[in-house]
Copies of this chain bind each other. A is one copy, B any other.
C-alpha cells in the first residue's frame, strides 16, 4: 500500500502540525485545532467551479483527471479547509457495472434501464475499479502530487443502499417504492444485487486508497428512509462488507447517513472509524448514543452558512462546545453545501472553527 502518511500519525502525543489535524482527529488523537472540511466543498457555489462547469458537464469533468484534480483543489486553496475530497459522483460505478447513466439538466441523474428483476442483476458485471474508473485513480494521484502533503485527500463512494436506490428507481426518489418493494417482495433479487454491488463498492474504495486516498467516506445519503429492522436485515451486512474492506487498508473510514438518527447504533455496528452526524441530533447526544470509542463528524445545518455572521459564529461555537473535552471531532456540515451559499461565509466558518477550537 503506497500510503505512508496514513500510518504516520499514530503517536498519541499532541503535535502542532495543521496538515495532520484531520487524520489525527479521525484516530481520536489530540489536535492543535479542530479540523474542518465540508461535504460538497467543490461545487456550484464557487465561482471557480462555475467557470469550469460552464464549459464541461459533471461527467466530462470527472472523465478528465486534470479537470477533476483542479476542481478538487479549488476549495483547498480558496477556503483553508483541512482536507480535500476528491471531485467525483457516487454514481460513477453505475456505467461500468452495465447501466446507462445520464445527468439531465435541472433534474439530476437518470438511469434508463433500472434493476427490477433477477435477470437485470445477472447482466451486471463486478466493477474493476483500476481499469473501469482508471481516470478517478489518476485524478487521485494528480491531487496527491499537487497537494504535496499540504492537507490529506479523502476518497469516497456511495453506500450500497444509496447507490442501489438509484439503480433500482432509475432516478432520485422520495418514497423508494421499487427499492423497498424489492426487499419485501423479491428478497432473492435484492440480495443478489447487493452482493455484486457491495463487492464492487468495496473494490472501489480499496482502489482509491491504493491510488493515494488517505481516508475514505461512505455516503449513505438516503438511508434515513429505512426503518431500523429493514436496515439491519437488508442493508447492514452489505455496508459492513464495504466498510470492513476499506478499514483493512488502514486508513480512516467515515460512515455517513442523513436523517439516520434511529439507525446510528446499527451504522456503528456496520463499521467506520468516524460516524458522520446530521444536524437533527445535537452532536453531544449523537456521540453519547454512538459511544465514545468512535470519532464523529458534523454537524452544522448547511443553511446556517446563509445566516448573518453573529448567528453563524454562535452555531459553530455550539457544535464545538458539544464536542469539547474529547479528541475525535471533525467539523463538517450535516449534509452537502447548498448552491448559492455565499463563499465568504464558508471561508468565515473555517476560520471560526480554527480560532474557537485552537489549543
CB <8 Å contact, B282 and A229? yes
- Across-interface contacts of A175 in B (CB, < 8 A): 302-303, 338
Interface residues of A in 94-126 (CB under 8 A from B): none
Q: Are A307 and B185 in contact (CB under 8 A)?
A: yes
- A186-236 CB contacts (< 8 Å) to partner B: 224, 226-230
Closest B residue, CB atoms, query A261: B261
The number of times this chain is found in the oligomer is 2
In the complex the two chains form, is B185's CB within 8 Å of A308's CB?
Answer: yes
- Indicate whether A304 reaches chain B with its CB closer than 8 angstroms: yes
Q: Is A135 interfacial (CB-CB < 8 Å)?
A: no
Q: Does A44 contact B (CB under 8 A)?
A: no
Interface size range on A against B: 20 to 34
B303 touches A181 (CB 8 A): yes
Contact B181 A280 (CB under 8 A): no
Closest residue on chain B to residue A341 by CB atoms? B177
- CB atoms of B262 and A280 under 8 A apart: yes
What are the residues of chain B within 8 A of A304 when measuring CB–CB?
A: 184
CA of A306 to CA of B180, assembled, Å:
9
Inter-subunit contact B262/A281 (CB<8 Å): yes
Cα A302 to Cα B282 with chains together (Å)? 29
Q: Which residues of B contact A302 (CB under 8 A)?
A: 175
